[in-house]
Structure 1
Amino acid sequence: MENPVVIRNREQLIFMLSEAATLEHMVMCQYLYASFALKRNTSEGVSEDQLAAVRRWDKVITEVAEQEMLHLSLVNNLLISIGAAPYFGRPNFPLQSRYFPSRVRLVLMPLDEVALRHFLYLERPETMAIEDVPGFVREGMQASGGEIVPESQEFATIGQLYRGVEEGINFLAENYGEKEVFIGSQESQATAEHFGWKKLIAVKDLASAKAAIDTIVTEGEGARGDWRDAHFGKFVQILNEFLEIKKADPQFSPSRPALAAFTRLPGDAEIAELIDDEMTAKVSDLFNASYEVLLQVLSRFFLQVETSHEELSKLSGASIRLMVTVIKPLGTLLTTMPIGPHRPGLTAGPSFEMFRMSYLLPRSQAAWIVLHERALELTGFCSELARAPNAPKMLLAVEKALGNVVKMFEQSSTQT
């Protein structure tokens, strides 16, 4: 029997919810990467029937990634409800350190049998015994046993983590009273009004906290419902289809040969692929800088200090526009570009690089100025890049999209 996740004070609860936010964030990036690297037409070595299957899988994986964003939003609502700040931090990929428990490994990779089996392992129900693929298992971590300092705890499944969080919330409510636990602002949380997810609810009490956790677990591994409709069941179906096509055509590969790569080695990554192609490196930098702005926008939205209803709508709209018209096109483009002569035949992939800085912009007026300034810089960088010799045509569309983001930030940045 697995050791339970034990939470006995608010500090431990904030720590484990921050760990949950990190996990949801990184799992979402994994799924986005798999989607970006999928082949898009028959010229890439797939038949019409195979391409139809790949497109079906892309739709499912994209929907799952969107649900991970919903889960990340719900976790941040939980954090805010207990008086903490929203959390969008995480380590860089590939995760080789002891950041998570030994059974949780997170790596960016194209969709294939190994990736699918790893996804199934991450999303598996608590009662289902599945081993991770070789090379993804590390030694267990040791807890110091102290109760005053929060520390990571072993959990075998995502569901076990959230079960521990729920039991911790119950414990605090029983010992301190429900009102003393939920001391945060309900108005400072994300809801369906701004992002369109019907299940994105504000957390204000024990009942709404349980509802938020239930949504996360049910959509993920289906531990409290039918797993066939959960992420686990969806990946089972994709794997079965993949194996059937692979049996008929052993050469079938649904993905481009993309390696997640950096333009420079980040300080917290022990090993990483590096890009050695100038144009690819610049597109990668543009992707990561745009991703940085997306995290700033989301952090600002969840903080909601000195922010009007109109500004909240603008922030939520900007986050969606950045994801759909900038991040996705650039991520997909990178998987078609060479990583460099040292890796012949392989393409690059987005690294979702995190920089050593806070993404939280606490003051409203300053936040709009920073966002507008940064969006202008990205637009200028993209414009120059798009007009370089042999530049991908996709960059012109991204330039236009970034210009639209500039306009969204412009008016708010000039208000006093």
Structure 2
Amino acid sequence: MALEHATIPPYLTAYYSIQPTTNSDAAHIIRVVAVEEMLHLTLVANVLNAIGGRPDLTRPGFVPSYPAYLPDGETDFTVELRPLSPEAVETFCKIERPRQAPNADARLLRTPDDGNPVLAFSPTAEGMRYYSIGEFYAEIIEGLERVAADDPKLFSGDPALQVGPEYFYSGGGAVIVVSDLDSACRALRFIAAQGEGLDSGVHDADGELAHYYRFRQLQLGRYYQVGDAPDAPSGPPLSVAWDDVYKVKVSARLADYPAGSELARAALDFNVAYRAFLVLLTKAFNGRPGLLQDAVCDMFRLRDGFNLLVRNPLPGSDGLHAAPTFEIPAAFGADPEAAPAAGESAQGVTR
């Protein structure tokens, strides 16, 4: 769940950095992917609930401190909060790239001791992380298969906690209710295929593009059509006006904002609102699935908070603009009910 969520702030930052009435093609691509990441988050929550876990998107450390490594085994990039740019799209392609380990033994790679933060790693192999996102899910599937073979009661979670397809619509796939090993594996394989196109290539059986190839369109300047080779889209051209974006500071932090300034307050208020969004998701995944539709809408209701920041220069940054920092306030403690709702006052919250 931490992995799936960690892609959302970078995608939203690029999306909201686009200036109004410009870059409609790029905006649509990024928005579709962000909504489908919410679908992935929901599918993983269903798997976790099916085996008796408890999804908690409010726990300390759930939101990474950007820049951060993802657990895909690569050391050539970190994920940052960037405006729409060739660099941002390159990172998005690295996040979603379809890569398979040469064999099962190569799925796990040792984490370099270089001081850089790692979002997640193997809970059973200290100092190890995964070769790719696809292999990360392949390892989870293999683990579920092994445990289920020895424990027939593995999938004994409360069925009432499952989010059904009636509670989520993304246009690209549907929610899978997880009740056994087969449905769990289908859900996890769907995530890997929709993100990387690992099993089905450029398009899936329904003609939907994998996320990797959606982003490749922005690099190659042309849409894919069914039947196209991976690096040779033959559809209509699309263009990206890289200059028609707000040049926000990359991976801005609250410490970058002048103390007591309106920008500092706007950045802090955004973080409080974002935590309220995570609280809503946590409630949806813990027995109130009807809230999920509100949460998906809330992800884009954050627009006003984004605009208060990205449309304003950040003092002392050589003309760069402000941006949300996604530093989630810890003053509310671990109780999701204690967090103020989006738009409520953040008075008393400390950095």
Provide TM-score, normalisation by structure 2.
Answer: 0.76
Structure with the larger helix share: 1
Task: Return the match for 2:298 from 316, 319, 322.
Answer: 322
2:323 is aligned with 1:349? yes
1:23 maps to amino acid: L
Task: Return the match for 2:87 from 114, 130, 150.
Answer: 114
Higher relative contact order (CA 8 A, sep 6+): 2
Distance 1:359 1:77, change over 3 A: farther
Unaligned residue ranges in structure 2 (runs of 5+): 103-109, 115-121, 204-208, 223-238
State the Cα distance separating 1:115 from its structure 2 match.
1.5
SS at match of 1:349: coil
Q: Deviations over 1:162-210 (max 9, x none)?
A: 0111111111112223xx1112112102222222345212211011101
Contact 1:295 1:359 in 2 (8 A): no
CA distance in 1, matches of 2:323, 2:135: 32
Unaligned residue ranges in structure 1 (runs of 5+): 1-20, 42-50, 130-137, 243-248, 265-273, 362-366, 383-416
CA distance in 2, matches of 1:344, 1:232: 33
Distance 1:149 1:28, change over 3 A: same
Q: How does 1:226-305 map to 2 (within 5 A)?
A: 226-228=201-203, 229-241=209-221, 252-259=242-249, 260-264=251-255, 274-276=256-258, 278-304=261-287
Contact 1:331 1:349 in 2 (8 A): yes
Contact 1:298 1:316 in 2 (8 A): yes
Provide TM-score, normalisation by structure 1.
Answer: 0.65
2:258 maps to amino acid: D
Task: Return the match for 1:39 from 19, 24, 28.
Answer: 19
Contact 1:263 1:284 in 2 (8 A): yes
Contact 1:188 1:303 in 2 (8 A): yes
2:65 is matched with which residue?
93
1:113 maps to amino acid: P
Distance 1:165 1:381, change over 3 A: closer
Q: How does 1:5-404 map to 2 (within 5 A)?
A: 21-41=1-21, 51=22, 54-88=23-57, 89=59, 90-96=62-68, 101=73, 103=75, 105-127=78-100, 140=112, 151=126, 153-177=128-152, 180-197=153-170, 199-228=174-203, 229-241=209-221, 252-259=242-249, 260-264=251-255, 274-276=256-258, 278-304=261-287, 312-313=289-290, 315-325=291-301, 327-340=302-315, 342-356=316-330, 360-361=335-336, 367=337, 370=338, 374-375=340-341, 378-379=343-344
Identity %: 25
- Deviation larger for 85-94 or 118-127: 85-94
Determine which structure has more spread, i.e. the larger CA radius of gyration.
1
